[in-house]
Amino acid sequence: MLTGDNAASAASVADAVGGLDEVVAGLTPAGKLEYVTARAGGGGGGGDGGGGGLMVVGDGINDAPALSAATVGVAVGLATSSAAAAAAADVVLLRGAVTDVPWLVAKAQSTRAVVQQNLLLALGLMVLAVVPVAAGAIPLWQAVLMHEGGTVLVGLNGLRLLSDRLS
């Protein structure tokens, strides 16, 4: 936890939250930025897709530089976040609850899995449609029908992401 608050307040919040490995108090916005930049491998948003990086969650103008430097910046609450934090963040949690962050991570992981499934499904169906047409085994209209059917399957598979909404 990175905070500009004093050490006693930070320790109190950390105890209430629980499960925090590290608490750094008394940081200025520049201090938060330095801390995040050192741990995000230079920062700059956008990960390499390898599962590494650093997520920063914040809500105030003092968090904006760190949100911008993180691999993924998350502003909590559009109504309660400063405009600078919301603008610097990659994601804004509209409900304003830090407890939504685990849901966000889980939803991002399931979205990545569905995108990979959709790519494999679409490419597989394209191969199944193009090869027989090129060999003259089926007419073009059947390949087009297979392609359009694959588009419907990809869309239906993507709709699965609408489930498991926040309660």
CA angle 58/63/66 to nearest 5° reads: 100
pTM, entire model: 0.72
- Helices (H), ranges, the chain: 7-17, 29-39, 64-69, 83-88, 101-135, 140-159
- CA separation for the pair 2, 25 (Å, rounded): 6
Express each pLDDT in 99-142 by its tens digit.
Answer: 788 888 889 999 999 999 999 999 999 999 999 999 999 999 99
Confidence at 10, pLDDT banded by 50, 70, 90: confident
Q: List, for residues 139-154, the tens digit of each pLDDT value.
A: 999 999 999 999 999 9
C-alpha triplet 23, 84, 30: angle, nearest 5°: 45
Residues 58-86: tens digit of each pLDDT? 888 889 999 999 999 999 877 666 888 88
For 137, phi and psi rounded to 5 degrees?
-80, -30
Predicted pLDDT at 47: 46
**Least confident among 30-34, 62-66, 94-98:** 94-98
pLDDT digits (tens, 9 = 90+) for 13-24: 888 877 778 889
Two structure tokens written together for 143: 């390949």
Locate tokens 């990659």: which residue? 90
Q: For the residues of 109-137, what is the DSSP string, one character each?
A: HHHHHHHHHHHHHHHHHHHHHHHHHHHTS
